[in-house]
Amino acid sequence: MIRKNILQARRVVVKIGTSSLILPNGKINLSNIDDLAFTLSDLNNKGYEVILVTSGAVGVGMNVLGLEKKPDELEKKQALASIGQVELMSLYTQVFHRYSQKVSQLLLTRDVIDYPESRKNATNALEALLELDIIPIINENDAIAVDEMEHQTRFGDNDTLGAIVAKLVGADLMIMLSDIDGLYDRNPNLYEDAKIFREIHEITDNLMAIAGGAGSKFGTGGMASKLTAAALLFENGQEMVLSNGSRIREIQAIVEGKEIGTYFAKL
């Protein structure tokens, strides 16, 4: 079955999570990063406008310093994010260069999006980069973002950031790469008879309960935040596909409308 609406998509936001960038042993997943650079560069060559929203700064920072455990102190996490972001962008730049694709970096905080003038500046920058045939690589500015009552600068998670970026640039499609094939009716790691949802057209309370709330052990790969991101996209009539970040080259099949992962589209 072909998802015909996706065939019309030309501006695509791809969000990749830390689990797709860092191996279980804490090392950087170089093969995944290479697949990502190849696939997005290929899409760009075919006329798609592509934006990458990436996680992984803290994980890469831990790798740089040889840490096995994430520190509890906020300031140390911020330091890791600062160290890791430099390394992550250096790696992205090298690998994308292999495929003759130029990239740029934008680090965002929530207040940039909340204030109209700042939001306009961010939008203008992204539009200019896309016009120049450059792939913007966006991450939250974890080194300085805070979460206070009167001055919230954190997005909360990069799933939300991806949806906000998609809304900001009027993307046709968001592809969310996770550590799972899609949304299931129960945790497939625990239940052999778990069934995948191929299409979701409404984010209901029942779906949120299936995904698991904040801190739930049932929520595989932060599934609740992915449904929240889909709900944000639904507000703007946008679509999303949730698929497995271990098979990054399937992005090409996704934009060709093939039935991969879970497709979120409001009827």
CB neighbour burial string for 227-258, b if at least 16 within 10 angstroms, e if fewer: bbbbbbbbeeebbbbbbbbbbbebbeebbebe
Cβ proximity of 201 and 183 under 8 Å: no
- Rounded CA-CA distance 113/156 in Å is 13
Q: What is the dihedral of CA 169, 162, 129, 243, to 10 degrees?
A: -110
Average pLDDT, whole number, for the chain?
90
Q: Is 220 annotated as contributing to ligand binding? A: yes
Q: Is 55 annotated as contributing to ligand binding? A: yes
Cβ proximity of 120 and 86 under 8 Å: no
**Token pair recorded at residue 69:** 């455990």
CB neighbour burial string for 198-210, b if at least 16 within 10 angstroms, e if fewer: eebeebeeebbeb
Q: Is 224 annotated as contributing to ligand binding? A: yes
Q: Is 121 annotated as contributing to ligand binding? A: no
Q: Is 54 annotated as contributing to ligand binding? A: no
Q: Is 225 annotated as contributing to ligand binding? A: yes
The string of pLDDT tens digits covering residues 58-87 is: 999 999 999 989 898 989 989 999 999 999
DSSP state of 236: T
- Rounded CA-CA distance 177/182 in Å is 9
Class of domain 4-264: alpha beta
**Token pair recorded at residue 155:** 């997005």
Using 50, 70 and 90 to split pLDDT, how confident is the model at 177?
A: very high
Using 50, 70 and 90 to split pLDDT, how confident is the model at 115?
A: confident
What percentage of the chain's residues is helix, strand, coil (to nearest 5)?
45, 20, 40
The string of pLDDT tens digits covering residues 221-245 is: 478 889 999 999 999 999 999 999 9
Asked whether the predicted pLDDT for residue 251 surpasses 60, the reply is yes
DSSP state of 216: -
Give pLDDT, residue 74: 86
Q: Is 102 annotated as contributing to ligand binding? A: no
Collapsing DSSP states into helix, strand and coil, what is residue 165? Answer: helix
Q: What are the residues whose beta carbons fall under 8 Å from the beta carbon of 66, sequence distance 6 or more? A: none
**For range 158-169, the mean pLDDT:** 94
Give pLDDT, residue 146: 61
**Token pair recorded at residue 26:** 């804490």
Q: Is 19 annotated as contributing to ligand binding? A: no
DSSP state of 108: E
The string of pLDDT tens digits covering residues 180-201 is: 899 998 888 888 899 999 999 9
Q: Is 142 annotated as contributing to ligand binding? A: yes
Burial class (CB in 10 A: 0-12, 13-18, 19+), 197: middle
Q: What's CA 44's distance to the chain center, in Å?
A: 18
Q: Is 31 annotated as contributing to ligand binding? A: no
Q: Is 15 annotated as contributing to ligand binding? A: yes
